[in-house]
Chains A and B, each alone.
Chain A
Amino acid sequence: MVHGRTFTLSELARSLDAPQHKLIHLCEKGVIAPEFQDAAGRGSSRLFSTRNFLEFAIALRLRSMMTSVAAVGAILLVLRRFELVIQEDLPEFSLPDKLRDPGAPDLRLIVSDGTAIYFSLGGVEPKLFGGIPMDGLESGSQAEPRLVAPAAKQGRSPQTSRNGFGGPEGSRFVRLELSITAIARDLPLL
Chain B
Amino acid sequence: MAGSFRPINDRDSLSLCARAPHSGATATHHDVARSNDKAVTDLLDHVAAELAAEYVRLMEAAAEADTKQVPSSPPDQKRGSR
- State A40–B17 Cα separation when bound (angstroms): 11
B1 within 8 A of A: no
Find the residue from B15, B30, B33, B49 having the highest chain A CB count within 10 A.
B33
Task: Find the A residue at minimum CB distance from B35.
Answer: A77
- State A44–B62 Cα separation when bound (angstroms): 45
Question: A139: which B residues are within 8 A, CB to CB?
Answer: 30-31, 34
Task: Find the A residue at minimum CB distance from B62.
Answer: A103
Contact A39 B21 (CB under 8 A): no
User: Could you count the A-B residue pairs with CB atoms below 8 Å apart for me: how many are there?
Assistant: 154
A187 within 8 A of B: no
Contact B13 A31 (CB under 8 A): no
A15 within 8 A of B: no
A145 within 8 A of B: yes
Task: Find the A residue at minimum CB distance from B42.
Answer: A145
Partner of B31, one of A70, A103, A119: A70
On B, residues with C-beta under 8 Å from A are 8-11, 13-21, 24-25, 28-35, 37, 39-41, 43-56, 58-59, 62, 66
Contact B25 A129 (CB under 8 A): no
B27 to chain A, nearest CB (A): 9
B17 to chain A, nearest CB (A): 3
Within A127-164, which residues are at the interface with B (CB < 8 Å)? Answer: 127, 129-130, 132, 136-139, 141, 144-147
Task: Find the B residue at minimum CB distance from A33.
Answer: B21
A164 to chain B, nearest CB (A): 23
